[in-house]
Structure 1
Amino acid sequence: MGMNAGSQKIIADLLAARTGQQLTEDRSWRIGTALSGIFRQIGISNVDQLVCLLDQPAYSNLAQQVVEALLNNETYFFRDRAMFDQLSRHVLPQIAKQRKDERTLSILCAGCSTGQEALSLGMMLLEQKTRWAGWKLDITGIDISHEAIATARASTYSQFEIQRGLPVSQMLAHFNETPMGWEANEDLRALMRFRVHNLLDPMSTIRPFDLILCRNVLLYFDSETRQRAFARLMEVLHPDGWIMLGAGETIIGHTDELALVKGGIGLYRPVKSDLADQYEVCVR
């Protein structure tokens, strides 16, 4: 699968322009492998040939196909279980106190991929029936990938996918086996709204989000793009809301509007509210 430096740069520039993600040198080896399905589909054998077709009218959808293939949609149910335990034991009970008068909870999953993270949160809420009885619950999942969002909306998973991170008891409680795979039941699906959206673009929302999960999304952005992403997240976060990043991600050098919650894992709150210092979680 041949590829000269010029072709590699064109593909990298395309990905950056469409998604903000940087295809760094240590990730460039993925190009040929990730695009191999497209090669077979249109009858070519390498990236150089692909680049020649990108601006031809007959291949108007090719650029989007390339971007979709290069996106990393790795996800599974209750990924990084300790982070979900932290939400269940500390963050959600605190939000329940904060919103006890309006009884409305809005959660955003940014970079939701094929939906498992959002559905994991939904299962947690349904399993806390007493706490959330009579509440309006809403979980919004956004992702730049049309294919990933289509899967998330279907909320139907193969045997392999359903077993990744999901105990049998929860699988049987929240999913139904169908000829197409394991489909989330109606109670769980009713909590979800999935839509295609670029995190770097302005986002419309009926009310600010009480909790935003943006885990392992910023890893592939350069510093300037991360600053833009944080600015967008802050636009839709409630002034006393919560943001959870991936355990390996940081706000340092990218935003001064958030502060790390003491004792938390990847957990942040707005600086202006002084809430990060007032509230401490203990996850150990």
Structure 2
Amino acid sequence: MRRRVVLGSVAGLLLSGGVAHAETFDVSAEQASCTVYRQADAGASTPSLVGVRHFIGAPGATLLIAVPPSAAIPMATTRAALSPAGPAIGQVEVAKTAAGAQVFLVPVDPRGGGPLTGRATLSGLSTTPAEIDFDQVGRMIRAGEGCERGLLANWGFGGDAAMRVARLPVPAKAGWPGIDDVPQRDMDSVNGRFTTVAWRVGPDARITDCRVVETSGLARLDTLGCAVLRRKLSYREAARDAQGRPIEAVMVRRIRWGPID
């Protein structure tokens, strides 16, 4: 089990109907990403957003949706959907809290649909839909910026450029390492393994300094990650800051090597 390291808490002041109230988040670093947890009612009878996981350089996020045992839909029949149609939803995974509630991990990516703003209804995880406030999701991502700066420093990426990216670099080709790149001799060893790699995209749109920031536990797979990424991925435009100037970006990708179906 991964150890959760709480780096601190962030409180934001919000206005609702002219009344100020605090919104408090706990921030932790885990799995080469930052997760921001919000205060939630542990005894809630309906599904609710309890956290947001974000990777540096990722346009979207992973929503952590807690679902009471009495309302949970079996994982085999889970079909997550947003209404109105919004960001694309990736592969949903599930975990459990100490209290026995299911927590669904729902990746959302605005490149495949609407932006991470406004409100939406997330259905298909429980008998009762979950209401998602994407403005709150954005606040939670911003609350994790200090955590992300810490990760960049721990990985050896100095400077603050990655946190000033307003527009991500534009790929010329966007292939990713995966099961098809694994040598036959390693096929029996990839189930459940992940390698997370991080790399710089310079103001000239060139990839430099790719490195492993989370190991799969199998050195050959880790070495393969950056080698294949350099071969399959390139950019035609650099990242931009808020003034539209080319700027360095640090990108992160968690490569899922398995399981093999």
* TM tier relative to shorter chain: under 0.3
Whichever structure has more helix as a proportion of its residues is 1
Whichever structure has more strand as a proportion of its residues is 2
Q: TM-score, normalised by structure 1?
A: 0.24
Q: Rg larger in 1 or in 2?
A: 1
